[in-house]
């Protein structure tokens, strides 16, 4: 019988970390059926000469829970070779929750994850109550990529406790009902349980999101359900960077990972975190650090949000239509009032994923993804104007297309490399689907391949592909994914090692409420297959919707 697809003559990087080799990949239906020298006939032959052929990339930390309902293709990750993603991180999920109680669920999400309430209300058809019903709804959705999901603590809390979830600790009855909800969710196919202990996660009323009201004993009780079932990953957003509090947190988390026997994962920030991962492993537990390959950054554009958004004059400016913004900045007096407000205004440091007070020495004028990019301070000095005036000039000169980027953390390249190569970490952290007007990290795969492999040569392509595929699949128990081997699902990415790279970010006004989001395409990704169907080729998504819901069950045992 003829193959459905034959990928011919490429350089295969199979995801295991083993050396690359020249060969072919045969696909029948959704499965890889032959790897090596393949001479069988095929309905479609893809010439991969001069290209690398790898397993589809996996994004282990997204917030696509709502976006899937209005963006079936799964952009921006799909443009960067991602074929599978894990959603529901940090305790933020749309289920369990009744339609009549949707406000309680959305309240935890809208600010902490920067997803407009109106977009969720217009874009999501709330047809569920239980997490099982929600997964069934996701299963029915046409999808361009594969999706697995945690059940989230904030949603569980509001489902059980209602308004009390935002103001009280849970009583014994509440905890037992929440344990039942976790148990039912895991049985329905949740890949694990997630929560947030982060002070950065607040509502628009500056109250903690629902999961932050939970005692540590409540968290332990809910994770214990996964111990009883023998399945599931526990993910949480970290509590504190304060030295003493951080060490206490790491000690408690390590103890929970050991006691529960469940893979436990969180974002690592420094050597203390890496030491905790190694110590937990020595003591018989499994803790996995998630890490980004770049510093978190606030990406700002005057069509959406400015570095001055805290100030009343600039908040008013931000709400204007684009045409009126042009008029305001072109009017000498109106412009000067805004400039004066930005220079003399009172700023406070924010803890949410929102632009920090402007730092013109670190804030860059984004002109190239490859860099170098100049700081706003440098550009202003060369022009002989204040940094605020320089920014306004650049915005007008580019007709509001100019982006500015300010780091939210300052980790050195060597520190990032140390975490990247630690045996107990995985690459994660795109936050795709969240922070859609401020953070653009869906390009992690193409940044890794272009910057860390090709340009800096600090990793080999084999190491990088393994980190983007089988390492993540094994951590989350995504069976038969993450490798190019016979019998595995035919999730495949074909890319040009000489040109693969992220493009500049753009604004796309396609939210259900007409609002904007940051999107970012890539170059050098030639072809992507999801479950054997070509989903991307010649620089464009084909519209194929072959993605599947990946239900848990043996999660963490791969």
Token couple for 231: 């399945």
Structurally, what CATH architecture does the domain formed by 57-296+410-478 represent?
Alpha-Beta Barrel (3.20)
Q: Which pLDDT score is estimated for 353?
A: 63
Q: What pLDDT score was predicted for residue 557? A: 36
What is the per-residue pLDDT across 245-297, written as a single tens digit (0 to 9) for each?
Answer: 888 999 999 999 999 999 999 999 899 999 999 999 999 999 999 999 998 88
For the segment 312-324, the average pLDDT, to the nearest whole number, is 95
Residue 162: pLDDT over 80: yes
Instruction: Quickly state the pLDDT bin for 399 (edges 50, 70, 90).
Output: very high
- Contacts for 443 with CB less than 8 Å, ≥ 6 apart: 76, 80, 502, 520, 522
The pLDDT assigned to 556 comes to 37
Mean predicted confidence (pLDDT) in 94-113:
95
pLDDT digits (tens, 9 = 90+) for 347-385: 987 666 677 899 999 999 999 998 899 999 999 999 999
Banded pLDDT at 79 (limits 50, 70, 90): very high
- Residue 39 has which token pair? 């001479």
Element (H, E) at 272: helix 271-282
* Residue matched to tokens 């700002």: 300
One-character DSSP codes across 220-243: HHHHHHHHHHT--EEEEE----SH
Instruction: State the residue for tokens 């770049």.
Output: 294
Tokens of 344: 């003399």
Residue 466 has pLDDT above 50, yes or no: yes
pLDDT tens, position by position, 502-518 = 999 999 999 999 999 99
* pLDDT digit string, tens, across residues 53-71: 999 999 999 999 999 999 9
| DSSP one-letter string for 367-406 | --SSS---BHHHHHHHHTS-HHHHHHHHHHHTTT--EEEE
Mean pLDDT of the chain: 95
Segment 289-316 mean pLDDT:
93
Cα–Cα distance measured from residue 380 to residue 396, given in angstroms and rounded to the nearest whole number? 15
pLDDT in tens, 518-554: 999 999 999 999 999 999 999 899 999 999 999 997 4
Q: Provide the token pair at 93.
A: 């999920």
Indicate the burial class of 514 (C-beta count within 10 angstroms; 0-12, 13-18, 19 or more).
Answer: exposed
DSSP codes of every residue in 501-518: EE---EEE--STTS--EE
Q: How far apart are CA 547 and CA 73, in angstroms?
A: 9
Instruction: Residue 16: count other Cβ atoms within 10 Å of its Cβ.
Output: 16
Mean pLDDT of 389-413: 94
Q: Which helix (H) or strand (E) holds 312?
A: helix 312-318
What is the C-alpha to C-alpha distance for residues 445 and 461, in angstroms, rounded to an integer? 11
What does the pLDDT read at residue 371? 86
Can you give the pLDDT at residue 439? Answer: 84
Q: What is the mean pLDDT of residues 319-345?
A: 97
Is the backbone peptide bond immediately before 372 cis, with ω within 30 degrees of 0? Answer: yes
The percent of residues above 90 in pLDDT, for the chain, comes to 89
Distance (Å, whole) CA 513 – CA 500: 33
Report the Cα 49 to chain-centroid distance in Å: 32
User: How far apart, in whole angstroms, are the C-alpha atoms of residue 493 and residue 534?
Assistant: 10
Calculate the alpha carbon distances from 43 to 2, 40, 63, 184 in Å.
7, 10, 37, 43
Question: E strands of 447-549, at which residues?
Answer: 492-495, 501-502, 506-508, 517-519, 522-523, 525-530, 533-537, 540-541
Checking if the pLDDT of 555 tops 70, the result is: no
- Contact assessment for residue 260 and residue 223, using Cβ atoms and an 8 Å cutoff: yes
Q: Where are the domains of the chain?
A: 57-296+410-478, 297-407
d(CA 469, CA 463): 10
Annotate 47-68 with b (16+ C-beta within 10 A) or e (fewer): ebeebbbbbbbbbbbbbbbbbb
Please state the length of the chain. Answer: 558
Q: How many Å separate Cα 334 from the centre of its chain?
A: 39
10 Å CB burial of residue 245 (0-12, 13-18, 19+) is exposed
């Amino acid at each position: 019988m003829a193959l459905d697809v034959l990928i011919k003559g490429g350089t295969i990087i199979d995801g295991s970390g083993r050396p690359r080799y020249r060969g072919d990949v045969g696909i029948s239906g959704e499965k890889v059926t032959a790897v090596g020298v393949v001479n069988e006939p095929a309905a479609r032959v893809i010439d991969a000469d001069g290209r690398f052929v790898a397993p589809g990339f996996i994004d282990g930390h997204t917030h696509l829970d709502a976006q899937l309902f209005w963006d079936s293709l799964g952009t921006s990750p799909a443009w960067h070779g991602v074929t599978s993603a894990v959603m529901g991180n940090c305790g933020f999920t749309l289920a369990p929750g009744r339609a009549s109680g949707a406000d309680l669920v959305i309240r935890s999400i809208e600010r902490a994850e920067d997803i407009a309430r109106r977009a969720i209300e217009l874009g999501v058809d709330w047809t569920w109550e239980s997490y099982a019903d929600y997964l069934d709804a996701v299963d029915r959705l046409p999808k361009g990529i594969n999706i697995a999901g945690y059940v989230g603590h904030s949603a569980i809390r509001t489902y059980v406790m209602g308004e009390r979830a935002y103001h009280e600790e849970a009583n014994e009855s509440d905890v037992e009902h929440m344990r039942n909800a976790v148990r039912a969710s895991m049985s329905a196919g949740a890949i694990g349980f997630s929560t947030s202990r982060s002070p950065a996660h607040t509502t628009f009323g500056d109250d903690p999101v629902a999961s932050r009201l939970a005692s540590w004993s409540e968290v332990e009780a809910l994770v214990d359900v996964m111990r009883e079932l023998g399945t599931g990953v526990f993910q949480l957003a970290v509590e504190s960077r304060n030295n003493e509090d951080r060490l206490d947190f790491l000690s408690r988390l390590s103890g929970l990972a050991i006691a529960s026997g469940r893979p436990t994962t969180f974002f690592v920030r420094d050597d203390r975190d890496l030491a905790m991962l190694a110590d937990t492993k020595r003591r018989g537990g499994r803790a996995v650090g998630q890490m980004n390959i770049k510093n978190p950054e606030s990406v700002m554009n005057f069509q959406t949000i400015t570095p001055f958004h805290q100030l009343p004059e600039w908040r008013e400016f931000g709400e204007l239509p684009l045409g009126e913004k042009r008029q305001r900045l072109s009017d000498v007096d109106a412009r000067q009032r805004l400039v004066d407000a930005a220079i003399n205004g009172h700023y406070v440091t924010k803890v949410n994923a929102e632009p920090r007070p402007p730092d013109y020495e670190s804030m860059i004028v984004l002109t190239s993804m490859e860099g170098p990019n100049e700081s706003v301070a440098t550009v202003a000095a060369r022009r002989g104007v204040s940094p605020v005036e320089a920014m306004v000039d650049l915005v007008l000169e580019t007709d509001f297309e100019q982006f500015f980027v300010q780091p939210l953390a300052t980790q050195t390249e060597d520190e990032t490399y140390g975490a990247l190569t630690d045996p107990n970490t995985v690459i994660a952290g795109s936050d795709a689907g969240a922070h859609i007007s401020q953070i653009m990290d869906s390009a992690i795969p193409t940044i890794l391949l272009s910057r860390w492999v090709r340009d800096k040569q600090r990793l080999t392509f084999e190491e990088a592909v393994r980190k983007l595929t089988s390492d993540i699949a094994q951590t989350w128990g995504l069976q038969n994914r993450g490798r190019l081997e016979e019998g595995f699902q035919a999730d495949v990415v074909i890319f040009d090692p000489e040109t693969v790279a992220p493009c500049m970010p753009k604004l796309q006004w396609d939210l259900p409420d007409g609002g904007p989001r940051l999107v970012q395409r890539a170059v050098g990704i030639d072809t992507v297959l999801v479950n054997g169907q070509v989903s991307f080729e010649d620089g464009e998504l084909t519209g194929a919707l072959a993605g599947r819901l990946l239900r848990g069950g043996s999660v963490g045992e791969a």
